[in-house]
Amino acid sequence: MGYVLKAKKPNDPLLIVGNGLTANEKKLIRQYLEALRKLNLEVDDPDVIRRIMAEVLAGNPLSAANQVPWSGFTQSLAPIVTTMATQVAISANLNLTKLPSKIKYEAVFNLTDPRAIGWAQVRAGSTIRQVNEYSRQAVSKIIQDGLRSKLDPDQVQAAIKRVVGLDSRQATALENFYKKTIEDGTLKGLSYQSAVARAESLGVTYRNRLWSQRAERIARTELAEAANQGRFMSWMEADAQGLIPPNSKKRWMTAPDERTCPICRGMDGEIVDWEKDFSMGKLMPTAHPNCRCTAVLIPGEPSAVIEEKIPPTGEYEGYKLNQPRNATSSDRGQADVAANNLRDSARVSEPKITRDVIDLSKQHGGDMVGLEYRIKTQSSLAEKIQTTARDNATNVAVESRNMKDVIRYTMVKPEAGYVDMTNSVVRDLRSQGYKVTVINNWKPGSPYLGVNAQVISPTGQMFELQFHTPKSLVSKTKTHDLYKSIRNTRDPIIIDRIDKEMVEIAKSVPFPKGDVGTLGDPMPKIQK
Ligand SMILES: [Zn+2]
């Protein structure tokens, strides 16, 4: 229960699911924390502190807060522009690969794209101004509080140093924590001085946590915003090529997990013209800090009149003469037929296989995830056959024979019982006459983690069975979408970055408990 991938929604590379951080988010967090550390050191400068305290003593909290070297802070935040621009470009490219085939085209946004950079400069500029402003307000508020409660100048000075870089809410939380920790200390019998020393040291830990929280919130929000901007840019680019059909719409999509916030739940599914604002007043998500929503394009349907002119299949040749089609669309016709055939024959053995797999997962404490998608849809199957035939320079007939995952299952178990479950299920399948070939991908540094079993049923039906931990499953969806995006990208910089990002995502996945080396123990010599 509760695994994030019970989603009833299509996977979307821009939809950030779960708690993991992307490589770009980590980078932006790092950049922000570096700027904070620098700001903190600058406030320690005797000249700076003298200027601040002169205003404090004159009773001017606002001017005192203005003496903090915010311009240096602004400068040291400058690198986030590049990170955000990168996100725009990566997202635009990813999205191009996601567009329906009739819209797809070959443009590539590179990482120095002036549109991406331009947007990132403006957006980062206003973000930095806001971060500055909130931080300045926090300092000024803490000084006001200090003056009001008649703290001595040393105490005010210490408080300023503590809260610089936090927002007002965080600064107040930290000051409350600080006071409470001193009180607790003296109640426990510590001398006032020891209680203060203790509060100072615990306060630093707490402050660091608040810094990280603020950094993470900014990184998540800004990069989600950048990702959506990239997506919208790719639509505009496609539109400039005349590829976006009239009447195209876009649909708001929230991340399908427990982190979906109440604000966005109300927006989920809203459909508007693709060039118009959503009802919350923006062209694209995000809606609020930490928002992980995105929007997808719904291409407009050709008008009914044109539809009626397309003759039924029997007269297809005639239509072709009037409207020359390229080889790809005739491949698609064959691929559609092949996909239907594959699905029809899969349905014969599927019910029994599904029952067997479910039984085994129950028996060994696994969770079946995405069971409703166990048979690939006609369109995704046809598309896969068509694109692999194109990529491998073969043909539809060859590739449809090679489709191993027309039926596929995913079994999930947390790290603790994972190794046992996987080995037991494989063993039991074999004893029931299934031929199982296990590909164990639990290798450190691999972008794909998990076990992937190719299985042939006693009736000869091939299927795929994946074994995941909840975290490797989340990582798989993310890296899979990234992987697909490389296929249509030729820019080596993007390929390299996406590659690194995939490995980075996978790195955060904890390995199962026990000996992963035993997973998929060698196949028995005698196989049925
Ligand atoms: Zn949202």
pLDDT tens for residues 464-479? 999 999 889 888 877 7
CA of 43 to the centre of ligand 1 (A): 36
If pLDDT is split at 50, 70 and 90, which confidence band does 522 have? low
**Beta-bridge partner residues of 298:** 249
CA of 256 to the centre of ligand 1 (A): 11
Q: DSSP strand E in 339-428: where?
A: 367-368, 408-412
CA of 253 to the centre of ligand 1 (A): 8
Q: Which of 217-226, 260-269, 498-507 has the highest mean pLDDT?
A: 217-226
Closest to 12 in 3D by CA, of 302, 251, 307? 251
One-character DSSP codes across 470-482 = HHHHHHHHHHHHH
Q: Has residue 407 got a pLDDT over 50? A: yes
Determine the pLDDT at residue 131.
Answer: 95
Residue 437 CB contacts under 8 Å (≥ 6 apart), including other chains = 453, 454, 455, 523
Token pair of 306 as six digits: 């044109």
Query: How open is the CA angle 425-430-432, to the nearest 5 degrees?
Result: 95
Averaged over 201-220, what is the pLDDT?
Answer: 95
If pLDDT is split at 50, 70 and 90, which confidence band does 372 have? confident
Query: How open is the CA angle 296-343-488, to the nearest 5 degrees?
Result: 40
Mapping DSSP to helix (H, G, I), strand (E, B) and coil, where does residue 147 land?
helix
CA of 225 to the centre of ligand 1 (A): 10
* Spatial contact of 5 and 243, defined as CB atoms under 8 Å apart: no
CA of 296 to the centre of ligand 1 (A): 14
Averaged over 394-399, what is the pLDDT?
Answer: 82
CA of 241 to the centre of ligand 1 (A): 30
CA distances in angstroms from 30 to 25, 40, 204, 280, 325, listed in the order given: 9, 15, 18, 32, 51
Averaged over 164-183, what is the pLDDT?
Answer: 96
Query: CA torsion, points 286, 287, 290, 292, in degrees to nearest 10?
Result: -50
Give the 3-state DSSP-derived string for 164-221, with helices as H, strands as E and coil as C: CCCCHHHHHHHHHHHHHHHHHHHHCCCCHHHHHHHHHHHHHHHHHHHHHHHHHHHHHH
CA of 295 to the centre of ligand 1 (A): 10
* Spatial contact of 185 and 198, defined as CB atoms under 8 Å apart: yes
CA of 405 to the centre of ligand 1 (A): 33
Determine the pLDDT at residue 175.
Answer: 96
Q: Has residue 2 got a pLDDT over 50? A: no
Buried b (16+ CB within 10 A) or exposed e, 334-353: bbbebbeebbeebeebbeeb
* Spatial contact of 228 and 285, defined as CB atoms under 8 Å apart: yes
Q: Has residue 110 got a pLDDT over 70? A: yes
CA of 86 to the centre of ligand 1 (A): 22
CA of 292 to the centre of ligand 1 (A): 5
Answer whether 0.85 is exceeded by the pTM: no
Q: Has residue 18 got a pLDDT over 80? A: no
Determine the pLDDT at residue 259.
Answer: 62
Whole-number mean pLDDT of the chain?
83
CA of 289 to the centre of ligand 1 (A): 8
Mapping DSSP to helix (H, G, I), strand (E, B) and coil, where does residue 226 land?
helix
CA of 293 to the centre of ligand 1 (A): 4
CA of 286 to the centre of ligand 1 (A): 6
Determine the pLDDT at residue 476.
Answer: 84
Which domains, from first to last, does the chain contain? 18-243 (no CATH), 314-469+510-518 (3.30.460.10)
Please list the alpha-helical segments (H only) found in 392-528.
Answer: 396-401, 418-431, 470-487, 492-507
CA of 68 to the centre of ligand 1 (A): 34
Q: CB 279: neighbour CB atoms within 10 A?
A: 11
Token pair of 468 as six digits: 């995941």
* Spatial contact of 99 and 238, defined as CB atoms under 8 Å apart: yes
CA of 290 to the centre of ligand 1 (A): 7
Residue 242 CB contacts under 8 Å (≥ 6 apart), including other chains = none
Provide the CA 165 distance to its chain's centre, in angstroms.
Answer: 27
CA of 79 to the centre of ligand 1 (A): 26
Closest to 295 in 3D by CA, of 258, 263, 266, 267? 267
Full strand arrangement of the beta sheet holding 271-273: 271-273, 249-253, 294-298
CA of 264 to the centre of ligand 1 (A): 4
CA of 135 to the centre of ligand 1 (A): 25
CA of 370 to the centre of ligand 1 (A): 24
If pLDDT is split at 50, 70 and 90, which confidence band does 326 have? very low
Query: From CA 411, how far away is CA 528, in angstroms rounded?
Result: 24
CA of 266 to the centre of ligand 1 (A): 9
CA of 285 to the centre of ligand 1 (A): 7
Determine the pLDDT at residue 109.
Answer: 75
Averaged over 494-515, what is the pLDDT?
Answer: 83
Determine the pLDDT at residue 526.
Answer: 42
Query: From CA 55, how far away is CA 67, in angstroms rounded?
Result: 8
Is 476 or 140 the better-scoring residue by pLDDT? 140
> Which of 306-320, 386-400, 480-494, 512-526 has the weakest average pLDDT?
306-320
CA of 278 to the centre of ligand 1 (A): 13
CA of 226 to the centre of ligand 1 (A): 14
What are residue 517's phi and psi, to 5 degrees? -65, -25
CA of 283 to the centre of ligand 1 (A): 13
- Considering the chain, what percentage of its residues have pLDDT values greater than 90? 48
Residue 397 CB contacts under 8 Å (≥ 6 apart), including other chains = 334, 338
Closest to 176 in 3D by CA, of 142, 150, 147? 142
DSSP β-ladder status, 462-468 and 367-368: unpaired
CA of 26 to the centre of ligand 1 (A): 20
